[in-house]
Structure 1
Amino acid sequence: MTATPREFGTQPFDLPLGRPPAGSDAPVAAPSDPEVVAATSLPPVPAVRTRESAAPLDSAARFGVRPLLLGLDLLAVAVGLVGAELVGRGLGDDFPARKTAAFAAVLLLALAQAGLYRSRLALSVLDDLPALAGRWTVAAGIAVLGQVLWSNALWQDYIIDWQFLWGALAIGVLVVALRAVGYAVVRKLRRRRLVVHRTLIVGAGRVGHQVADILREHPEYGLHPVGFLDADPRYLAGPAGLPVLGTPADLPEELRDGRVHNVVVAFSSMKESEMVKLIRTCDRYRCELFVVPRLFELHHVDDDMDTAWGLPLVRLRRSTYRSPAWRVKRMVDVAASGFAVAVLAPLLGLIALAVRLDSGPGILFRQERVGVDGRTFQVLKFRSMRATAMESATTWNIARDPRVTRVGRFLRKTSLDELPQLFNILRGDMSIVGPRPERPHFVEEFRSAYPSYEARHRVPSGLTGWAQVHGLRGDTSIADRARFDNYYIENWSLWLDLKIILRTFSSVFRGAGG
């Protein structure tokens, strides 16, 4: 079974960590792996070395490939625009610098969309060339289309000023040339150990030692192994003197002190479910996680994968909190919820009046729920039960409770009872989209029954969510809810949020609440 990022998105999260219990399921190493057979005839490591025994690096500079590439491309754009403008003036031509600048902006956006600014271990301009050429063509086509539409909007003939293509071509050539120079400089700095990143290897078996050998013999990848983590290490053929710093359960501590920012997960004696929940605990730390895939000798290397001397490595997606778009999500939450409160104020007032007339005083209902990182908050809802009734914190579903009023039943069916949670979003307790918050009693119950349930609390709770738009609400499978919520977290994007919001509107109009 191949350990892919998708697979890592559906397993347990925050359970007690430690050595695998006796009689646990299959370890991470495949049964057919010779390492498993060889390990039974090799003596264990006599002693696990301490962190202090790992030789510190003289220079462990933090160097970002992403800002370097963006800076080089911006330089190529600037030089291309200035040079083309000067040449155009010298020839007496009216060079359309503004149109070339528009092309350049589209090109940079296209390169970012293609993932050409992501950090990589193996840097080669020849690998980038097909994607660069394709995005250049797309940007040029959009620029030409813009000229056509602009000229037609001014009631002119279709006019295409092809002179701007000289500037666009110059920018494209400069982008390729500067990237080639930049890659060469980075590789040289890495080889001289001027740019190195301390790296832990989880798994001290055959594959783990193979990874360590490659990284030590090929510093051009920028990863410097400083030790292993393995609950049951074996010394096989590998780099001499590289210590075992502890068990995989020690990984959060190693990341917490900031000494290590890169982790390569190779095969170890830790079972896969334990490894997944361990990796999920690293979401809050600034680190890059690589995974050696199952059957890596047969693995096809995609554009979004890394390789180290022929060894494929799956770079796990950055946790949602570390994504630059996550800051945009919070700004959207504040703007959208504030706008919704202002626009829906008349509707909120009518609902409040209906609740008051139908069942007496007490319009809002407050209940403790569990949010991000297990913190509790008071969720707000329009009251749907009689004023003298108290909704139990341990009652799962009140849909058929006779104490639910006529207005309350309508509000629950249309999900309008959830509208006061817009104020929870403004306060920062919740987000518009995210896993639905649950009561503490049921969180404790589900945490023990469904190992992946706790992982839902890695992000703020939401007014609506991926599970809800798939009909998983009320008396539906908790395991399915946890699976859909964790899928949302692992695959989060602003577009996914928008898709969930649109599907939520569809559900509300169809009266799919309960």
Structure 2
Amino acid sequence: MNTKAIPYQPQGSERVEPTPIDIVIHARARNDWSPSALSVPLVRIAADILLLVAGTIVGGTIGHLFQRTHTFELSTQSLLIGSLMYTGLVLCLLQSDNAYPRVCSLLHVKETETVLRVSIKAVMVTLVLCIVARYPVPRMAMLGAWICGTALLAIGRVWVLEAVRQRIAPALSQRRSLIYGSRRTARRFFTGALHSPMLGIEPVGFVASESEHSDAIYSYDYFQRDSRPIFHEALSVEMLTRLKIKDVFVCDSSISDHALKTLREVAQSANCTLSLVDDQEILANKCPTRVWEMDGLFIATTEPNDPGNFYKITKRLIDIACSSILILLSAPIWALLAIAIRCESKGPVFFRQTRVGQDGRSFEILKFRTMKVDAPKYARSPNEHTDSRITRVGRFLRKTSLDEIPQLINVLNGDMTLVGPRPEMPFITEEYGPWEATRLTVPQGITGLWQLSADRQYAIHQSIEYDLYYIQNRTVLMDVAILLHTLVYAAKGI
């Protein structure tokens, strides 16, 4: 779902068209930045330089140690010079690829994808330059430097963005803003503004309808640590003055013309700007496959966002290679878990259940059994680890996600893929509307954006936003980026 914030202009004034920014939302780029806002891109660039230099030096040194032939000696000076030159090349490519935008993508996956794409370009350019200059290429050193530098940059950038948001952003000049609405669009806008300090938007809270019973709204992220309260009162001049609001963003597509006129009058009286955030949910419900933008116009189409045969073939090859290797490497773990499961309770080691795959095809999913044998086979999954149906070993397996390992067999068989929407049970997919059914147009996977978010505590079909974002943006590098995020955050116990 793409949205675009349109600043309200009083009658008689010249309208200034906003510049769309390509993220989860399209927010208005402000020009009233304080000089301190320059510290954000400078910190990010400086961090990228340190990460790249450290990664390439460490990786180059390790690679050179494993060099089979020592006909080429790599001196410390040569390694440092090469590292600095490669770092400069990567920074230029990052800049040309708009890798330092004012806004951040959903769960920072796009940023990781950009790093992977730029690193591949950089190493190809480096190889060509070495061949043209007839410079002897230390293959293992270059390979080690590239792998280590790319990995450190991809992982480090996410941590740097989070540090910038928590430590630098509060000191920047921010405009206190109120979000009118409480549904999906409001939450997306809140997340984009919160994680993009360069926008200069400080969300204070939400104004919701009388039917909204929640007290707060959480952002789309890994931990759901960020939330803002919902004010259960009508928007008024007194409210805007009391909260020191400078901007009001209307994220409610169902608002009537009369209500919108009232909001404009209230905002003008409180000397606040009013912006409309286009909600594409209505278009998506009528035409669920894809919504795209053309020079400010939003177009809903039934044509799927087909990434092409290269993507499909490469994705399948990666699935086969990775699942085969992981099954072989994890074989001892399978044996230990099987023994632990059988020692605690009698019954099968594996849990088998019919799930719905791509295009509605059914298949039998495999998991390590985490619940008692007499637990209902087809029922909604337990939301709490204290559920009496779960065994003691099962709690450990669920917490560490080790119960999902047998699905590598499903991936090897072609029933599933490593990265994709999570497969649901038939009685759930039968309740799908046209919008939810979009999930079934792609292969179902083990991990994905939903599994990385804090919304994984809720039902999959209640958090379809992640799957739609993935379907519209999927590439080979995005799949690799999601796998990297899965490894990093799985290590943190998420």
- Please report the TM-score for the alignment, with normalisation by the length of structure 1: 0.41
Q: Higher relative CO (CA 8 A, sep ≥ 6), structure 1 or 2? A: 1
Report the structure number with the largest CA radius of gyration: 1
Q: Could you state the TM-score of these two structures normalised by the residue count of structure 2?
A: 0.42
